[in-house]
A and B are shown apart, each in its own frame.
Chain A
Amino acid sequence: MNQRRPVRDRTGMSTAPIGWSLVILIATCGPARGQFAEEGPAPAPLTPPMIGIAEANFDRWVFGSDEASQAAYDRLERVLTVRIGDLERTCGLSPAQKNKLLLAGRVDIQRFRAQVAAARSTFDHLRSDRANLPAVTAETRSLAKVLAGDFFGDGSIFTKTTAATLDPAQQAHRRAVLAERGRLRHRALVARAVADLGMKVGFATHQAERFTGIILAETSPPERPAGPFEGKLVLYQIASIPASKLQPIFDDYQWRALNRRLVDARSDEPSLRAYGLLDSTGSTSTTQPD
């Protein structure tokens, strides 16, 4: 296939010399076209490929899977329903209070949706270049953390509205219920730790009972949920009890075996401090007894 431009008869149409026309013609066509005469149209030059981030990653990073976003919002609705049901059962909410709290909770969910939408917009803007991956993942990670944590806890509109909506008597009830729940969890963790240590160290049950009593007297539930560090925090609290109070419970063999484990528990202090479960002095941030 010949790519050369056909030479037209320009007679009577222009005064330009034919020589100039030929020069322009040759310059326009170029010799390279002839190389592709047998191979079809010439390809445009390839630009270097850019590596982007696929859209589906956003949902995966925030919600856990591609299709999990709606399920996550549904779960938040269920959490809200259960929370309001608990308040209704323990504090006796009026219909107006219930509706107000339901609205507040949904505002939280809506606010989270808006945060997700904004993050998704940023993600769409940045995802064309893989170099933006750290910025993108930082944002998605923070959203995922919110979703996995205590969504309607401190800082949420729901909690603030609850505090403003309940009357003093209801608030007293609520505080009592929360304290009871915290104590139950703390007692459970202490019982678990004592049972576990009992198997490893070889406590008798009467020793375990005395041990448990001292632990419960000397420690308190943490001020905020310790999440995956609950067990370590309780062991650290046990390890922080003065040895003079614990050692008399056990005989020499038992105490040496126990003390090795308590020393090991103290080594978790950096992790607990990094998680914000210990204050600057190394003591546990605990709730005030009612």
Chain B
Amino acid sequence: MAKVDEALTQQRDLLAEFEKVADELNKILANLEGSTLVKRLKAASRLQITIAGKISDQVDNAFGLFTPKTASPAGTPVRRAQVVGGANVVVLHGANAAADVPAPAPPKPETPLAKTLEELGIEEAKGSHGISLIMDDMAAYFERRQYARFKAVLDEMRQKDVIGALRQLGDDLQKEQGVSIAQCEFWSDSLDRWADDLVDPSTSGACPGSKSKSSLPPSVVLEVLQILEGEVNLREETRVAEQARPALAAEDFGKQAPALSQNPGRLQGAGRQGEPPDQGAARQRERSSPRRSPCSNRSPRSWTTRPPSSPRPTPAPRRSPPRPTPSNSCSRPSGSTPRAGAGAARRPAAAGGGPPRTSALALMGNGMNKEEVRQDRGDLASDRRVGPRPPRRIPLRAGSVLQQARTRAGQPLTDAATIGTLGGFAMGRDSQIGKLAAAAGCAAALAAGAASLSRAAGDGDPPVPGQKISVVGRRPPTVDPVLPGGGPVEFDRAIVVRPALRIEATRQVTTESQLAQMLGSELRLLTATARPTPDQRRAIALAGGRAIKECGRDAGQWRAGGGSNRRHPAVPDPHRFIRDALGAAVVQQLGTDQSGLYLREWDARDQARKEAATLDLVARIDQALLLSREQRDRVAAALRTQWDSPIFPTPATLATQDDALPSFLPHLIGATLAKEQRQLLASRNLVNFGRLQVDAFHAADGTRYSIEDEADDPDLKAALAEVARP
């Protein structure tokens, strides 16, 4: 009996603990809903079919209400060309009908029907925006993982011009209801099919190796979910950063990046502050498993030290691609592997509920999950994408955020802080970033941002707690990052953050992390060639770490300028950054003779890369144009002269497209070819590789492997610590 009482007590405590975090869990889970590409495509598909249904509901009131003015010859079908999915369709009216009846005039705006259609048109435009975001993320994901199926789907989406077609559909919806229904259904089918095409048949979302030895307490679940959500948010910021390049600000704000990068890591530490002593053992058991789990493979450190700044280096779980993962995959006992991924993906009707093992996919999408809460992630990207638009005003509940920060921080806020920490506020993630900042002890940042923001916004009266404040998110006014005097400040102020500030800071940190990976490669090369002593190696690594910060700032500024920075008019070579940075340290530590071994290796390796790229191109051209041996030699000689050109591909860039030929070939080797070969080359689709996109700052797989993966080298770890030091 005593055992029953004890069990009941435990259950009661557990329920109470769940109750405490239930709201936060629900909110985070809802935000995570949109985190995977398959789910988001499915949701977009359902949106289209929902719109089609709504139009269908209204169409009875729209058809046949108008008197025809003219009649067409009997039996003559009339076709009106429409555009569906980037492809033309024709609308065939019945042969005996007065088919050339003019299209019904659009209902007057004041009618309920017109209002409904207008709302649907707006909804359609939002759907188009959502698709554009999905495509951006898909492009970034493909750059990281190079999965062919993602490229195939992305290419097809681009070929179909789904974004433009949906935008057009939003405009045509009020004039052509019947065709719009068909178009919505078409796009629903297409989006659903694309989502299915993204599913990896080999795993179907299964997530092996995630067995937990004991149940995690809800607070830990919440913490993990918060970390996951933070990662999703960072991914979003990556896209925004890339697409808002022209809005970047001056270099002064770049130094704020470390604070931005440290926030999530601090969250992890803060989340454990309230850990009960008796949970230490269980927590110790669990501490390593999420880091090594295929589901959540990366620790917060890995994505704080390398936050994203562009589609290519978007941080994401290394082995957790956006495939349909069963909602309980990470906590499911091993041995039970419901393959709900692809199957459930094909059954959108199953969404909105289901047993615990229902695929998370099935719970996704507007209207399917009654409990869902869609998160507003801002639209900086869309503003730039579609051209000039009125600035979007994003409501923020600054009061609640700051109140939360004050409550959770529980300490005087006197530290000078960086406004970069506050970047998330402008994106509407007020509560989450507020928690992050508060938990990480960055409340001073909130305070500084609040005060300076209030000044910058020119608001006369500070807002009161809970008051909704509209913030111009696209081009907010410049703010002073540090509170004058650094003293105690008022909390309840509005917060506006200039996006460019956050973007540049993110870029710098991203660049630093990529350079750090290159440093790891260089340290390995140094060891293999110059054989330094452990002390020498450590000293060189530390020098490299210090240099990375400087290199990162320069490279970040160059990237922030979209490749046209005044200080760096030419394409900078990050490998050369590292080489120059390490060169002096190597000479100092190893002496001239020993360091020469390493420095000469650079030239040899550059030569090897040049030969590899040349050989690859010659082989491609040979496959396409069937060269003779003499032609191959002449083509190779011509190609070697172009190695220093910024448009000449490197082995890394060539690896991105195995069967493509570069666009400069006709000019470079035209004279070497026979007439038929020249004509055949001219008829091929040629591409611009460039060495910038992949090789210059991304080292091809710069984001596939986190720094932690590389940092099994103690000297590299020490160098990274040097980079992370403020």
Contact = CB atoms under 8 A, between A and B. Distances in A.
Interface of A: 39-41, 43-54, 56-57, 60-61, 71, 74-75, 78-79, 81-83, 85-86, 89, 128, 130, 133, 181, 184-185, 187-189, 191-196, 198-205, 207-208, 225-232, 250-251, 253-254, 256-257, 260-261, 264, 270-271, 274
A49 B700 contact: no
B683 interface: yes
Main secondary structure of the interface of A (DSSP, over half): helix
A51 B87 CA distance: 12
A54 B676 contact: no
A228 B601 contact: no
Given A74-B683, A191-B611, A44 B97 contact: yes
Nearest to B72: A44
Interface in B151-182: 178-179, 182
B178 A202 contact: no
B386 interface: no
Interface residues of B, number: 86
B677 A82 contact: yes
Given A46-B98, A53-B89, A270 B202 contact: yes
Contact of B612 (A39, A195, A250): A195
B527 A253 contact: yes
B490 to A, nearest CB: 50
Given A54-B88, A191-B612, A202-B525, A228 B659 contact: yes
B182 A184 contact: no
16 contacts: A40-B67, A44-B96, A46-B101, A48-B178, A52-B92, A54-B81, A61-B87, A75-B683, A82-B680, A128-B92, A188-B612, A202-B520, A203-B605, A208-B605, A228-B658, A270-B200
A32 to B, nearest CB: 14
B625 interface: yes
Interface stretch (B123-131, B228-236, B324-332, B709-717): B709-717
A256 B101 CA distance: 73
Top 5 nearest A-B pairs (CB, nearest first) are A47-B94, A54-B88, A202-B524, A188-B619, A195-B612
A90 B625 CA distance: 14
Contacts of B616: 188-189, 191-192
A272 B202 CA distance: 12
Contacts of B618: 184, 188
A230 B619 CA distance: 12
Contacts of B529: 204
A194 B605 CA distance: 11
A207 B528 contact: yes
A194 B659 contact: no
Interface string B499-538: 0000000000000000001001111111111000000000
Interface of B: 63-64, 67-69, 71, 79, 81-82, 84, 87-94, 96-98, 101, 146-149, 178-179, 182, 186, 200-202, 517, 520-529, 575, 601, 604-605, 608-609, 611-613, 615-616, 618-620, 622-623, 625-626, 628, 632, 651-652, 654-655, 657-659, 674, 676-677, 679-680, 683, 699-701, 704-705, 709-710, 712-713
A189 B654 CA distance: 10
Contacts of B683: 71, 74-75, 78
A54 B90 contact: yes
Given A43-B98, A200-B699, A202-B525, A270 B89 contact: no
Nearest to B655: A231
A78 B523 contact: no
B67 A43 contact: yes
Contacts of B523: 202, 253
Contacts of A47: 93-94, 96-97
Contacts of B701: 200, 261
Contact of B521 (A50, A133, A202): A202
A130 B680 contact: no
Given A49-B93, A230-B658, A271-B148, 15 more contacts: A43-B67, A46-B63, A46-B93, A48-B94, A52-B89, A53-B90, A78-B683, A130-B84, A184-B619, A184-B622, A199-B521, A202-B520, A257-B710, A261-B705, A264-B704
B396 to A, nearest CB: 41
A53 B89 CA distance: 4
Nearest to A209: B608
Contacts of A271: 147-149
A89 B182 contact: no
Contact of A227 (B84, B659, B713): B659
